[in-house]
Amino acid sequence: MRPDSCDKHSEKQVHLYCHDCNENFCLTCLTAVHRSHNYGEIREVADSFRQRINDDDERIVSAISCVHEQPGQTKRSEEEFLCDVEDVRKIVLATGDIVKRSVDDQIADVLTELESVTAESTDQAKNVQETCQQALLTLESFHTYSRELVDKGRPSDVTRAAHDLHERAEELLNSDVTAVEYHPPHVTFTPADVTQMKRLTLIGKLAVITQEQSGRSFAVFVLTVICDLYFKHYKLHLKTFPLPHPLGDYYFIIYCIQKY
């Protein structure tokens, strides 16, 4: 504790306090310096200061209590945040699985269609080959028989078989087996534009809103509702009701949004 003597006159005791200078002083200082200032007796001033100190201390104690509670609240908020993050992570993964399954289903559909086209075209090629092979055997058999008849047959054998053999030849030639051709389909695949898909939001979009942004968004929302009510109610039903702002209707709204 500091002594009760005056800082400027050590032989004098302090009895007064100057509110303007925030210092104790003696009667000599009163005459020389503090006569026109706001001052009072130390005992009375000390009582009022004690009350102010007590008030400040109560606020400090309240702040201490809040600071003590803050770690626990922070821990609880962090746990809630981590739970929310885990829920979002599960939703992201679940949505991703749905998208992946959708892509896999599309791949399976395309491959199934491709396999079906392949099997059908393969059967057509096999049928053409079998038809050609059968026709070839028939033609070669006719050729062998006709050559043997001409080279080794008796004249009576030739005359007996000539008519039927000619009709058979005409029948075989008219069948035109070569007209049966294999025409495979032209199969192509146009892949999706992956560069465009990279810019698409396939599973959704993450939004992170801080408490400050949330408060401002709410303020803008309230202001929008108020302005909307003004224009719908007063403009439509009470057209003579003036908006108390010199900037006018729309300028006033813009002004308020920027302000808040």
Coil, helix or strand at residue 40: strand
Q: What is the DSSP string of 72-92?
A: HHHHHHHHHHHHHHHHHHHHH
DSSP at 18: E
Nearest to 192 by CA among 113, 110, 101: 110
Q: What is the pLDDT of residue 257?
A: 46
Q: What is the pLDDT of residue 216?
A: 56
Nearest to 111 by CA among 178, 166, 187: 187
Q: What is the pLDDT of residue 253?
A: 47
Q: What is the DSSP string of 88-146?
A: HHHHHHHHHHHHHHHHHHHHHHHHHHHHHHHHHHHHHHHHHHHHHHHHHHHHHHHHHHH
Q: Which residues of the chain have pLDDT under 70?
A: 1-3, 199, 211-260
Q: What is the pLDDT of residue 138?
A: 92
Q: What is the pLDDT of residue 219?
A: 52
Nearest to 17 by CA among 9, 3, 29: 29
Q: What is the pLDDT of residue 10?
A: 87
Residues in the chain: 260
Nearest to 38 by CA among 23, 54, 28: 23
